[in-house]
Amino acid sequence: MRVTAILSAAALLLAAVRPALAQTADNLKGQSLIIETDMGNDIDDALALALAYQGVKDGKLDLMMVSNHKKSLTSSDFIDILNTYYGYPEITVAKCATPVFNGQYRDYTAPVVLKDDPAWRRSGNYEGEYPEAVAKYRELLAGKPDKSVVIVSLGFGTTLAQLLDSQPDRFSSYTGKELVKKKVKYLSIMAGSYGPEDTVPVNGVRDTMFDSTKKRAEYNVVNDIPAMQKVFAEWPGEIVQNPFELGKMVMYPWSAVEKQGAHPVFDAYRAYRKEPYDRPSWDILSVAYVLHPELFNISDPVTVTVDDKGFNHVTPGGNHRILTLTREQADALKAYEVAETTRGPEYLPAWEEGMMDIHSIGTGQGDASFLILPDGTTWIIDAGDYRIKYRSGIKNVER
């Protein structure tokens, strides 16, 4: 490497600047999206976010907020780390005022957050305090055009029920229901379960829905039954329901995880359960539907209700639709999920004469810069102390 500290201002001014890889104009941001999650209870929430970030990268999604109702010391920090890791530290992280605790499984967010990997940074936007979710929903929805926002629900109904009950505030003169009716395009929700006794019409044909032997009171419903009852009974717009049985048809494979190196999503996967294991892609499918609705079958309009024990019931006609899958569609979705969630970073094209590259390098303590000037001169600035006792410095830069 040829290193020089001599740089003329003219060389900088004459240097051609490369176009940015990411599209930034508002009209190229894609579908406005808010994700509601119980991050930390099951690993599919993390994979669902991994899929959503690829949608953001492709300009298909504008992920405005991830709202978290998991009661955990680390799950909101984990979301903030993921936003930052994927290059979107500006995505809002909000927290439910009454988060719900469920300790059934290991909270995989803790080992990732506590690992304190210098490459897995926080955004720095929150001093341990995240904004309250309902107020943030109201603020963000109020600022958007009518019928423009899709909400994806990957957990319990807790926050969304509070949003429906919310009253006019400084952000909007509408009640929560009025605001949702005006601003939200539809709710894509992972919740509920159906058995062989349930049928729904698809294209006017009465169709047995699922290859399922047992209808269950599904996890996202039973952890807050009154909230989910309210969401299905009072949501003033279309709901697209992705029931339990679909995720079981699309098993996210361990073979995709084991090839991955250090990565906050896949380290979380490895921390969640004893490897090797495949896991149903329940929550991933509700994000996949927003990006690629053509990969699913969807029922004719129905009405879904939730009883006091947490079981779903369905009657024809209404404002809800239920997703179904054939075996072939499930296999196609599995291939799609794996390809998207394991997509690597997109590298800059190789330097060419006349171009100037400016690379900012995270060293764990401050940033170093590496420049390739238009004439090929390379220059590294502020790379720290190379002595072994320091964590930062050349040793880390070369890693």
Closest approach, Cβ 99 to Ca ion, in A, equals 13
Cβ burial, residue 348 (10 Å; 0-12/13-18/19+): exposed
- Separation between Cα atoms, residue 130 and residue 94, nearest integer Å: 5
- Judged by DSSP in three states, 328 sits in helix
In terms of CB distance, is 174 or 244 closer to Ca ion? 244
- From 39-47, 145-153, 206-214, 306-314, give the range in contact with Ca ion by CB under 5 A: 39-47
Q: Which residue has the tokens 């991830």?
A: 66
Segment near Ca ion (CB under 5 A), from 14-22, 43-51, 267-275, 349-357? Answer: 43-51
Q: By CB under 5 A, which span of 15-23, 42-50, 232-240, 255-263 interacts with Ca ion?
A: 42-50
Look at strands 61-70 and 31-37 and give their pairing: parallel
- We find the least distance from the C-beta atom of residue 281 to Ca ion, in angstroms, to be 11
123: amino acid identity, one letter: S
Q: Which is nearer to Ca ion, 155 or 264 (CB)?
A: 155
CB of 242 to Ca ion, least distance (A): 11
Between CA 18 and CA 144, with CA 33 as vertex, the angle to 5 degrees is 95
Does 38 bind Ca ion (CB under 5 A)? Our answer is: yes
Q: How far is the CB of 214 from Ca ion (least distance, A)?
A: 20
For CA atoms 55, 58, 60, 61, give the dihedral sign: positive
State how far the Cα of 104 lies from the Cα of 41, in Å rounded to an integer: 8
Of residues 152 through 171, those in contact with Ca ion by CB under 5 A are 154-155
What's 348's DSSP letter? Answer: P
**Residue 340 near Ca ion by CB under 5 A:** no
Go through 16-33 and write b for each residue having 16 or more CB atoms within 10 A of its CB, e for each that does not: eeeeeeeeeeeeebbbbb
* Identity of the residue, 284 or 368, whose beta carbon is nearer to Ca ion in the bound complex: 284
Between 229 and 242, name the residue whose CB sits nearer to Ca ion.
242
**Amino acid type, 116:** D
Say how far apart CA 89 and CA 69 lie, in whole Å.
20
Q: Determine the size of the site formed for Ca ion (CB under 5 A).
A: 5
Q: How far apart are CA 55 and CA 340, in angstroms?
A: 9
Beta carbons of 247 and 190 less than 8 angstroms apart? yes
Q: Give the range of 222-230, 276-284, 321-329, 344-352 binding Ca ion by CB under 5 A.
A: 276-284
Least Cβ distance, residue 45 to Ca ion (angstroms): 4
Crossing angle of helices 176-183 and 133-142, rounded to 10°: 40
Binding string, residues 196-225; x marks residues near Ca ion by CB under 5 A: ------------------------------
Question: What is the DSSP track for 7-28?
Answer: --HHHHHHSBPPPPSS--SGGG
- Which is nearer to Ca ion, 91 or 154 (by Cβ)? 154
Rounded to 5 degrees, φ, ψ at 138 are: -65, -45
In the complex, least distance from residue 284 CB atom to Ca ion, rounded to whole angstroms: 10
Q: Which is nearer to Ca ion, 176 or 247 (CB)?
A: 247
Options 61-69, 278-286, 313-321, 379-387: segment touching Ca ion (CB under 5 A):
278-286
Stretch that binds Ca ion, among 241-249, 269-277, 279-287, 291-299 (CB under 5 A): 279-287
Is the Cβ of residue 220 or residue 392 nearer to Ca ion in the bound state?
220
Taking the C-alpha atoms of residue 182 and residue 188, their distance in angstroms, rounded to an integer, is 17
Q: How far is the CB of 223 from Ca ion (least distance, A)?
A: 10
User: What single letter denotes the amino acid at residue 274?
Assistant: K
**How near is the Cβ of 94 to Ca ion at its closest, in Å?**
16
Q: Which is nearer to Ca ion, 37 or 162 (CB)?
A: 37
Does residue number 283 form part of the binding site for Ca ion (CB under 5 A)?
yes
Residue number, 45 or 107, with CB nearest to Ca ion: 45
Start-end of H helices in 202-243: 219-222, 225-234
Q: Which stretch binds Ca ion (CB under 5 A): 17-25, 151-159, 160-168, 313-321?
A: 151-159
Cβ atoms 199, 208 nearer than 8 A? yes
Closer to Ca ion by CB, 45 or 224: give it: 45
User: Which residues of this chain interact with Ca ion, rule CB under 5 A?
Assistant: 38, 45, 154-155, 283
